[in-house]
Amino acid sequence: MTAIEKKAKEFKSFVAFQKNCSECPRSIPVQPNPPAPDIFFPDCDLGIEITEYLLGQGKDGSRSLQYETVHERIAEAAKAEYESKLNHHLQVSILWTILTKCPTIREEKNIAQAIAEMVASKISQQLQVCRAESDEFNEPLIQKYGVELSIFRIPGEGRSCWSSMFGALFPQEATRIQTALDEKEAKVSEYRTKCKNAWLLITADRNLASSTFSFSPSLLEISFNTSFDRAFLLDEPQNCVYEFKINHG
């Protein structure tokens, strides 16, 4: 595809987006050359970068598998930390609500310790069932990764069960959307030298097997990690537009 053909394709997708997104400016944009975004509105200082929604796990492999492995490791560490000091028969469920970030190895210990301390605090209240929201923790990493707890005290003695789970369904599409955002992340600071506001428009073409998008309502509950101000997906040729939640932290 030549540069001219690429620009024509991007503009066609943009027009469909503009017609189906009430948030998009109605003025006529320009198509500047790189390193500026693909679409630019001089009147409102807005740039829109356009990228395709393509099949692939990304260079780091399966994100969902990585998250699940790390989350389970933290749950085991928190259980060991708690049981080194207290011995209660518990069912502890650790829910992760921010699914586009994964704790680093250095962060795992602090998160596990904060979870163990919160469980101990809740159990001291002598309640059979209790919950802990992320904003109840003093550890900033808990808010960063959206950790919530559900604690059930089981009568009698026995082994405790600490489990980790996603706080919302993690569809395969979430991984691909985050990958699309990640692939453009390094360019955002450069885009901002050309425009004040930067959006990303991901285009999915149902006519291509490698670009088919399957919508799930849970996608609208996930906060995606990016420096873009807003992120959208255009599902072609039906031209349905979806906007995703953004986490700038």
> What pLDDT does residue 169 have?
55
> What pLDDT does residue 61 have?
53
Contact between 198 and 191 (Cβ < 8 Å): yes
- Report pLDDT digits (tens) over 15-62: 999 999 999 999 999 999 988 999 999 999 999 999 999 765 455 555
Distances from the Cα of 15 to the Cαs of 29, 39, 139, in angstroms?
Answer: 10, 11, 45
The first and second tokens of residue 124, run together, are 């001291």
- Report pLDDT digits (tens) over 116-166: 999 999 999 988 899 999 999 999 999 999 999 999 988 877 778 998 887
The closest of 242, 232, 221, 228 to 98, measured between CA atoms, is 221
At residue 70 the predicted structure's pLDDT band, cuts being 50, 70 and 90, is very high
- Report pLDDT digits (tens) over 203-241: 998 888 778 898 988 888 888 889 999 999 999 999 999
> What pLDDT does residue 167 have?
60
Query: Higher pLDDT residue, 64 or 102?
Result: 102
Residue ranges per structural domain of the chain = 16-52+171-247, 63-166
> What pLDDT does residue 98 have?
81
Secondary structure of 144-157 in the HEC alphabet?
Answer: HHCEEEEEEECCCC
The closest of 106, 126, 118 to 82, measured between CA atoms, is 118
> What pLDDT does residue 117 have?
96
What amino acid is encoded at 132 in this protein?
A
Q: Does the pLDDT value for residue 105 go beyond 80?
A: yes
Instruction: Give the CA count within 13 Å in the CB-facing half-sphere of 100.
Output: 24
> What pLDDT does residue 44 have?
95
126-135, 164-173, 185-194: the lowest-pLDDT one: 164-173
Query: Higher pLDDT residue, 64 or 72?
Result: 72
